[in-house]
Amino acid sequence: EAQVTQNPRYLITVTGKKLTVTCSQNMNHEYMSWYRQDPGLGLRQIYYSMNVEVTDKGDVPEGYKVSRKEKRNFPLILESPSPNQTSLYFCASSLKGNLNYGYTFGSGTRLTVV
C-alpha cells in the first residue's frame, strides 16, 4: 500500500530533551515536507526537500532540523524542544517538486512538550 508512515503517533517529552520524529514513504516520491498544525492557523510548513541531500526552510523552521540522506526518509529533529513546539505534526510527500500532483500525508504525530 502506498503510504507515508510517521512515528511515533503520540509523544510527551520534557523541555530540552532531543527527539526525532521519523517519516518514510514507499512511493519513490522526490518531494517531502513537514508541517505543523495549530488551531486557527491551518498548516504551516517547517521544512521541505526537493530531493536527496536538498532541503530548505519553510515558513516556521526555527527550532527544527531535517535531513534527507535517502529518498524515502525525511526525519524531523528537535534538538532542544520547548513548550511552544507542542503541536500536531504532519509529514507529506509528492511525486515531484511540482506540487500539481498534490500531497500524500502521514497520519500525524501529536507532540506535547512539558
Partner 1 sequence: GDSVTQMEGPVTLSEEAFLTINCTYTATGYPSLFWYVQYPGEGLQLLLKATKADDKGSNKGFEATYRKETTSFHLEKGSVQVSDSAVYFCALSSTNNNDMRFGAGTRLTVKP
The smaller minimum CB distance to partner 1, of residues 8 and 15, is found at 8
Give the shortest CB-114-to-partner 1 separation in angstroms: 22
Task: Please identify which residue in 62, 69, 102, 114 interacts with partner 1, judged by CB under 8 A.
Answer: 102
In the DSSP assignment, the letter for residue 61 is -
The smaller minimum CB distance to partner 1, of residues 59 and 79, is found at 59
Is residue 1 at the binding interface for partner 1, with CB under 8 A as the rule? no
> What's the residue count for the chain?
114
Residues 6+ apart with CB under 8 A from 76: 20, 21, 23, 34, 46, 47, 64, 65, 66, 89, 91
Give the C-alpha separation, 1 to 16, whole Å: 37
Task: Please identify which residue in 8, 16, 83, 97 interacts with partner 1, judged by CB under 8 A.
Answer: 97
Q: Which residue has the cell 498548516?
A: 43
The smaller minimum CB distance to partner 1, of residues 19 and 43, is found at 43
Sign of CA dihedral 79, 87, 5, 10: positive
Task: Please identify which residue in 7, 45, 51, 73 interacts with partner 1, judged by CB under 8 A.
Answer: 45
In the DSSP assignment, the letter for residue 97 is S
The smaller minimum CB distance to partner 1, of residues 79 and 99, is found at 99
Residues that bind partner 1 (CB under 8 A): 4, 33, 40-43, 45, 48, 50, 56, 58, 90, 92, 97-100, 102-108
